[in-house]
Amino acid sequence: MEHVDTLICARWILPIEPAGEVLERHCVAIRQGRIVALLPIDQAAERYSADRRIERPSHVLLPGLVNAHTHGAMTLLRGAVEAAAYAEWTQQLQRLEQRWMDAEYVRDGAELAIADMLTSGTTCFGDLHPFPEATAHAAAAAGMRACIGLPLLDRPGLWAGSTDEYFVKGLQLHDEYRDDPLITTALAPYAHWAVSDETLKRVQRTADELELPVIMHVNEHRESALSAGERSFDRLHRLGLLSPLLMAVHVVAVQDAELDLAAREGVSIAHCPQSNLKLGCGVSPASAFIARQANLAIGTAGAAGNNDMSLLDELRTAALLARGLQPSATLPITAHQWLRAATLNGARALGLGDVIGSIAPDKWADLCCIDLNRAHTSPVHDVAAQIVYAASRDQVSDVWVAGRALLTDHQLTRLDLDDILRRAERWRQRIHGE
C-alpha cells in the first residue's frame, strides 16, 4: 500500500485531458499538494492508504476553474454604475476609484472577489488592478492561486507616478513572490492608449527576460481597435508582442485577418462575454478563434461591470452566444471544449498550463467539485452539458488549491466571510456618505 494524504472519490471526474473524457466512480490521489494518480475507486482502495478519504457520490470533480481576467477590487463597486455604456461607465468608475482607492480598499475588494470566486469553483485568477501587492497578499493569505498583473503605464496613477516607478514597483513585487508556490506575476501594459511604443518594447524585453506572461486589453470596443491610425494588432505585431506570452483580453472589435495573425503567433485570448455585453461593446467572435485551434480562455473582468465573478455563469453566456450568434459550418463547440476553456486554456494563458488546469499526475491538486443532485441538474444525460448549461454556483461543494481544502461542504474554510462582507458594506456606506 502506498501512502497518500487525500483520496477524493467522485461519481464523475472530468480530467479535461484527454479531451471529452468522463470517468465514472474514480478517485484522485493527492500527496503534498500534487496529484499522484487518477484511477477507479475499486483500484484506489487496493493501492493507496490515505489520511483522508472524501466521498462525493453525486458530484463531478474537475480541475478548479481559472478566471483568466479579473479586476478583483472592483467588487466594491458592483452595481454602483448601472445605466451607462462603456465610455460613460469607465468615466464614472474612474471618478469613484480616484476618490476612494488605496491599498486598504484594494485589499478589501480583492478579498471579496476571492470569496466570490472560491464559492463558485474558481481556484486561480489573473488580475489587473492598481495596488497589485494588496491583491497578491490577499490571494496568498487566502491560499488561492493568482497571476498578478503588474500595471506598467505611461500615465501617472494612484499607485505610481511615472513609467519608471511602475516598472520599479512592479519588478519589486515580482521579486517578492519569485519563489511563492501560489502567486505568479505578469506584465500588464493596460491597453494600447496607455502606453508608448517605447514602453511596449520595454515590456516585451522584460517579458522575454523573465519569461512572464503579458496581459493587455486589446480591441475591447470599436474605438480601441485603432491606435494613432494603426490597428492595434498590427502595432503589437510590429513591436514583437504577438507571441504565446501574450494574453489579449476582450478582443471584440476584431477582423478575420487579425484572428489569423493572433492564432498563428500563439496569442491567447481572454473572452469576457458578460462584461462585453453589459457595457455595450458587443460579442467577441470566440468560436472563430477556437476554430483556428487557438487558445481561448474565459474571464469575468471586473464585477463593477457584470456584476459578479462566477465563471460558471460566464461560461454559460459564452456557450449560448456561440450557439446562437456564431453558427458555423463545422460542428458546434461542445460543452467539454467550454470546460477546457475555463480550466486548461485559462491556465495556459496565464503561463500555468504545465502545473494546473487538468487532472494529471504531478500537477497541483487545484480542483473543484460540483454536486449535480439538484432538481435543475437531474437527470444527468450529459455531465458536461449540465455543468455548462444548468449548474448554479451554489452547487460547487468543494474547492482545493494545491491539495488544501478552501471550500468544504459549501463553506469557506480559511476566510472570515462575515468580516469580509462587513468591510464591503462599510465601503459602500463611505461612498454614499452614510
Residue 44 grid coordinates:
484506489
By the rule CB under 8 A, 224 interacts with its own copies: no
Give the contacts of 226 (CB within 8 A, at least 6 positions apart): 232
CB of 283 to its own copies, least distance (A): 6
Between the alpha carbon of residue 255 and those of residues 251, 264, 310, 317, the distances in Å are: 10, 14, 29, 22
Binding mask 354-393 for its own copies (x = CB under 8 A): -------------------xxxxxxxxxx--xx--xx-xx
DSSP annotation string for 174-188: HHHTTT-SSEEEEEE
Between the alpha carbon of residue 205 and those of residues 208, 227, 273, 359, the distances in Å are: 5, 21, 31, 34
CA 46, 21, 19: angle at the middle one, nearest 5?
A: 130
By the rule CB under 8 A, 339 interacts with its own copies: no
For residues 350 and 175, what is the distance between their CA atoms, to the nearest angstrom? 18
- When the beta carbons of 115 and 347 are compared against its own copies, the nearer one is 115
Q: Which residues are bridge partners to 319 per DSSP? A: none
- When the beta carbons of 117 and 186 are compared against its own copies, the nearer one is 117
- When the beta carbons of 21 and 394 are compared against its own copies, the nearer one is 394
- When the beta carbons of 32 and 373 are compared against its own copies, the nearer one is 373
Q: For the chain, give the longest Cα–Cα distance.
A: 67
CB of 16 to its own copies, least distance (A): 18
- When the beta carbons of 245 and 407 are compared against its own copies, the nearer one is 407
Instruction: Output phi, psi for 223, to 5 deg.
Output: -65, -30
Q: What is the DSSP letter of 361?
A: T
- When the beta carbons of 235 and 316 are compared against its own copies, the nearer one is 316
By the rule CB under 8 A, 77 interacts with its own copies: yes
Question: Which 3 state secondary structure label does DSSP give 283?
Answer: coil
CB of 328 to its own copies, least distance (A): 10
By the rule CB under 8 A, 19 interacts with its own copies: no
- When the beta carbons of 2 and 419 are compared against its own copies, the nearer one is 419
Q: Which residues are bridge partners to 396 per DSSP? A: 370
Stretch that binds its own copies, among 25-33, 166-174, 191-199, 300-308 (CB under 8 A): 300-308
By the rule CB under 8 A, 101 interacts with its own copies: no
- When the beta carbons of 245 and 406 are compared against its own copies, the nearer one is 406
For residues 140 and 414, what is the distance between their CA atoms, to the nearest angstrom? 11
Question: Which 3 state secondary structure label does DSSP give 228?
Answer: coil
CB of 53 to its own copies, least distance (A): 25
- When the beta carbons of 3 and 410 are compared against its own copies, the nearer one is 410
Binders of its own copies: how many residues, by CB under 8 A?
68
For residues 342 and 234, what is the distance between their CA atoms, to the nearest angstrom? 28
Q: Which residues are bridge partners to 186 per DSSP? A: 149
Question: Which amino acid, one-letter code, is at 257?
Answer: A
Binding mask 302-331 for its own copies (x = CB under 8 A): -x--xxxxx--x--xx--xx-xxx-x---x
- Site residues (CB under 8 A) for its own copies, limited to 257-296: 274, 276-283
- Residue 32 has a CB neighbour count (10 Å cut-off) of 10
Q: Which residues bind its own copies (CB under 8 A)?
A: 76-80, 82-83, 85, 112, 115-116, 119-120, 274, 276-283, 303, 306-310, 313, 316-317, 320-321, 323-325, 327, 331-332, 334-335, 373-382, 385-386, 389-390, 392-395, 417, 420-421, 424-425, 427-428, 431-432
